[in-house]
Chains A and B, each alone.
Chain A
Amino acid sequence: MGAEEGNEVGSNDVHRQPEPSQSNQYETGNNMKKQILVGSLVSASLAVLVGCSQQSAPATEPAKVGIDPKIYTDSLFAVMKADRTNYTKLVVKRLGPAGADVIKPDEHWEDLDNGTLLPAQMFRAGAEAVAEMTDDFTYSLQSLWPIGKQNGPKTPIEKAGLEYIAANPGENYYGEEELGGVTYYTAVYPDVAVSDACTICHNEHKDSPKNDFQLGEVMGGVVIRVPLNK
């Protein structure tokens, strides 16, 4: 019974269907004329616009112009290096044991009343804060001789980059890699021992795999990673 009623309803629908269909056919004729008219006007107007734009300005698409990934990562590194140098010189050296001695830079700074972050920790804190704000880029401080194992190279590009900058002082390393289905532009910049505080701490730390770091030597690298196919 339900099926029959259903058929009735359905057949009614079928019968009603041709009416608007016919109407559409009639309207289509009128619409076609209108479309041709409107189309002509739009084409003419576009032709004028294109003509004008060709005369007054070059046909560029500013929205699609991007920054070369190398310039992007080089710029990011410049900011990172400047901030790190400033923190080391203007805060740690000035107020730490070598200066006014009112703050104590320490690996476990949070456990001390006047504790403050070591420059490398300040750098990592920045990287962590950035990771909470954006995924447009990530960065980290790594080394072939890390005190914490998690700071050693994990990907082939990281390893190749850290080896390259250690073997070629003053040079950077750039490459591409795919991680988790995403292609990244990965840049590796040298991290040089600028203070004996760096070398002494690393040379004496029980978990350091290398204990003969010298001032001016490459101790590790800053790895900046930018997703390319976003």
Chain B
Amino acid sequence: MRFPALKIWLVFSLIMLSGLGYLLFAAPSKDNLLIGQATHGHHQIELACEACHTSSFGGPEILQNACTGCHQQELDAAHDSHPRKKFTDPRNAELAERLDATMCVTCHAEHQLEQTRDMGVTVAEDVCFHCHEAVGEHRESHEGLSFDTCATSGCHNFHDNRALYESFLVKNAGKPWVDYEAVLPLANSARFLSAKGSSGMYEKNDHHDYAQIKSDWSESSHAGAAVTCVDCHQAAGEAWVEQPGVQACESCHADEIYGFVSGKHGMRLAPVIKEQLEPMSPKLARLDFKDSAHDLQLTCSSCHDPHKPNLQKAAVESCLGCHADQHSLAYQTSPHARLWQAELDQVAPENTGVTCASCHMPTIEHKQIVDKETRLRKVSIEHNQSATLRPNEKMIRPVCMQCHSLEFSIDALADEALILNNFNGKPSKHVESVDWALKRETR
């Protein structure tokens, strides 16, 4: 036989190519292709490679566009303190040589979980120091501060400083730690987005107990908004859908769906990804969950029964049906839970209770006027539970300050033990930022 080694090489090459082809195009999972585990923010979608690696050809801009495609809107809303243009400005050329943050991956490298810190950061803790080392020279209070305290002390964030800038600290200083008469806003966005009106009832002769469904529905907010069976189950000119998907909700709840698919609960249902992955499930998560919730899946109807949309269930019961970490388990004995129980018992006014959703899916009052006559503003519920979670100072303005003072909010969020016991007590830490800001005012 001639060239046996060449033939063996060819056979092995073919086998390897076939294997690679199978992994790339036919394998049910691409986990063997992962070069490393993704961060806590992306691990849910790490097997939908195309979500970030949108093209096989091209340079770093491919990944950068993927980052900004999902995160730019949030960065714009946060008035990003370190936008890309800051690093492309020629007058900052010298500083950009120290930290070239024109690409997100400069600080947030992916698939390097073992060296990823909080907020998905993969650069060293002295990152601020390299550009801001001289801050103590013109800011007396900052003289001699340690290089790693800028972003870890509750004072500054790299991107979002909406609740931390000096004028805001001064303007909101000195208020009582809690407003005992605080009432949370009531969401109204779906009411004004719904363009459907009543389309009439629809009845089918099948196994469903329509009497019960009708009864549930008639007391629901859907009935109040004249949203009927066909509005969700049968789009115009199309066949009846037994279990409508997220898109059925989206026509009226666009804001909520956008938030849902942007956060950890729903990102596997985002466009492109939903064709490749099943909905998120506790068994896929990295937090602690109840064993009984192991195989559940997350869609709109996981928390909201569509025939009796019940915000009470979605506010606490749905969350604690799955989440079993220390903070979640401590909720029922917290002061916030007592306020919620008082509301449920109707001994306290509506919207004075504080639930899981009050903080993690807060009602957001927008600038947009939805009713010109009454000047009513749009209020929607932020369904991206990560939007205010990390860094937790993002929670100060839209959440904590609905009821608490700025100083109390900053201190409470800097106290990790207090967060773990679900705010059962007062902060044991004090962040001096407001004191320093006030001191400069009196000079």
Contacts and interface: CB of A to CB of B under 8 A. Distances in A.
B138 A131 contact: no
Interface in B90-132: 90-94, 96-97
Nearest to B397: A111
Contact of B443 (A113, A155, A206): A206
B313 interface: no
B167 A180 contact: no
Interface in A1-45: 1-2, 5
B138 A149 contact: yes
Given A206-B441, A206-B443, A180 B97 contact: yes
Contacts of B85: 128, 131-132
Contacts of B92: 154
A230 interface: no
Interface string A104-120: 00011011010000000
A107 B90 contact: no
A132 B85 CA distance: 6
Given A113-B367, A206-B443, A225 B5 contact: no
Contacts of B3: 5
Given A2-B5, A111-B168, A179-B93, A131 B443 contact: no
A131 B441 CA distance: 34
B208 interface: no
B90 A138 contact: yes
A1 B5 contact: yes
A49 interface: no
Interface in A85-117: 107-108, 110-111, 113
Given A5-B2, A5-B6, A132-B85, A108 B90 contact: no
Nearest to B2: A5
A180 B90 contact: yes
Given A149-B138, A180-B97, A206-B440, A131 B88 contact: yes
A200 interface: no
A135 B91 contact: no
A155 B89 CA distance: 12
A135 B88 contact: yes
Size range of the chain A interface in the assembly: 20 to 34
Contacts of B90: 138, 179-180, 182, 184, 225, 227
B138 A158 contact: no
Nearest to B83: A128
Size range of the chain B interface in the assembly: 20 to 34
A103 to B, nearest CB: 14
A180 B89 contact: no
Contacts of A5: 2-3, 5-6
A12 B311 CA distance: 82
A59 B96 CA distance: 45
B106 to A, nearest CB: 16
Contacts of A211: none
B440 A180 contact: no
Contact of B94 (A128, A132, A180, A206): A180
Interface string B411-443: 000000000000000000000000000001101
A66 B304 CA distance: 64
A133 B440 CA distance: 38
A140 interface: yes
B94 A110 contact: no
Contacts of A140: 89, 91
Contacts of A184: 90
A2 to B, nearest CB: 5
A154 B91 contact: yes
A154 B92 CA distance: 8
B93 A180 contact: yes
Interface string A128-154: 100110010010100000000100001
B327 interface: no
A131 B85 CA distance: 6
A136 B91 CA distance: 14
Interface string B327-344: 000000000000000000
A225 B88 contact: no
Interface in B1-30: 2-3, 5-6
A138 B87 CA distance: 12
B127 to A, nearest CB: 18
Nearest to A226: B90
B168 A138 contact: no
A155 B91 contact: yes
B73 to A, nearest CB: 14
Contacts of A108: 167-168
Given A5-B6, A180-B96, A110 B79 contact: yes
A44 B84 CA distance: 56
A30 to B, nearest CB: 41
A184 B97 CA distance: 18
16 contacts: A1-B5, A2-B6, A110-B79, A113-B367, A128-B83, A128-B85, A131-B85, A131-B88, A132-B84, A149-B138, A154-B92, A158-B91, A179-B93, A180-B90, A184-B90, A206-B443
Interface of A: 1-2, 5, 107-108, 110-111, 113, 128, 131-132, 135, 138, 140, 149, 154-155, 158, 179-180, 182, 184, 206, 223, 225, 227
Given A5-B6, A113-B367, A128-B85, 13 more contacts: A5-B2, A108-B167, A111-B168, A131-B89, A140-B89, A154-B92, A158-B91, A179-B90, A179-B93, A180-B93, A180-B96, A182-B93, A225-B90
Q: What 6 A-B pairs come out closest when comparing CB atoms? A: A180-B93, A131-B85, A179-B93, A179-B90, A2-B5, A154-B91
Interface of B: 2-3, 5-6, 79, 83-85, 88-94, 96-97, 138, 167-168, 367, 440-441, 443
